[in-house]
């Protein structure tokens, strides 16, 4: 009888430890998600400024080419830089949205492959 009581106590302690670990992981995931959200917002703002400046560079290079001051190679280089900057905006936006999905999941949201939101408690 004493052995089964000890076993039950040990099982209870194990379940409590697992529960505490789950809670700590959830808090860490939420904290990480909130921190990433701010970081990605800053990166996105910086990348958009870069797109603006490379857009001006491209416009100036094109104007200089039309005036006969520069070669078309300068225009192509400016265009390449502009497209690279625009691509980086898309990359940062994707990373930001992905981190927001992870934050949503950490806060208890869920998603099925068919695009339907899960009901609270159904997926564990």
pLDDT tens-digit series, residues 74-112: 999 999 999 999 999 999 999 999 888 888 887 877 666
- 72-106 vs 2-66: helix axis angle to the nearest 10? 160
pLDDT for 35 equals 79
The dihedral sign for the CA sequence 17, 21, 26, 27: positive
The pTM of the whole model exceeds 0.85? no
Q: Which two tokens stand for residue 23?
A: 């809670």
pLDDT digits (tens, 9 = 90+) for 18-63: 888 888 887 788 787 777 777 888 999 999 999 999 999 999 999 9
Domain locations along the chain: 2-106
pLDDT for 15 equals 87
State the Cα–Cα distance between residues 8 and 104, nearest whole angstrom: 36
């Amino acid at each position: 009888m004493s052995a089964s009581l000890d076993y039950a106590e040990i099982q209870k302690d194990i379940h409590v430890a697992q529960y505490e670990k789950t809670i700590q992981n959830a808090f860490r995931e939420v904290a990480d998600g909130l921190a990433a959200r701010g970081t990605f917002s800053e990166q996105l703002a910086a990348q958009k400024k870069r797109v603006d400046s490379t857009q001006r560079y491209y416009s100036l290079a094109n104007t200089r080419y039309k005036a006969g001051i520069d070669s078309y190679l300068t225009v192509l280089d400016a265009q390449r830089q502009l497209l690279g900057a625009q691509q980086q905006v898309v990359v940062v936006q994707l990373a930001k949205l992905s981190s927001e999905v992870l934050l949503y999941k950490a806060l208890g949201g869920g998603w099925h492959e068919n695009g339907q939101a899960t009901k609270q408690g159904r997926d564990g």
